[in-house]
């Protein structure tokens, strides 16, 4: 059986329940950025607010009008970029 790393439930575009949350990077009434165990997650909408947050249990609930849920590729840090640069040159 496959282990569940993350669970995302969207209810009527008004509530998102998410497990696997490591950190809330930023939030505003129209955007919430999360770091999750499956990658960075961007939620956009209107009148968004964090209804509940339990980082020990890695769970969050977000209410408001949900317009978009999008996973982002992790950004390379400066150290990773330079390593990648030299790896490409030496090939």
Is 85's pLDDT higher than 80? Answer: no
Q: Please report where in the chains the tokens 């059986």 appear, as a residue.
A: 1
Q: What is the pTM of this model?
A: 0.76
Is 3's pLDDT higher than 60? Answer: yes
Report the alpha-carbon distance of residue 12 to residue 50 in Å, rounded.
Answer: 17
pLDDT of residue 4: 75
pLDDT of 15-27, one tens digit each? Answer: 999 999 999 999 9
63 in Cβ contact with 23 (< 8 Å)? no
Is 90's pLDDT higher than 70? Answer: no
pLDDT of 48-62, one tens digit each? Answer: 999 999 999 999 999
């Amino acid at each position: 059986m496959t282990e569940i790393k993350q669970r995302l439930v969207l209810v009527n575009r008004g509530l998102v329940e998410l497990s696997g949350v490591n950190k809330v990077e930023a939030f505003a009434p129209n955007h919430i950025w999360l770091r999750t165990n499956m990658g960075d997650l961007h939620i956009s909408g209107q009148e968004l607010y964090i209804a509940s947050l339990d980082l020990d249990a890695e769970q969050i609930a977000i209410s408001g009008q949900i317009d978009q849920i999008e996973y982002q590729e992790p950004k390379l840090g400066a150290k990773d970029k330079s390593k990648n640069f030299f790896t490409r040159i030496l090939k």
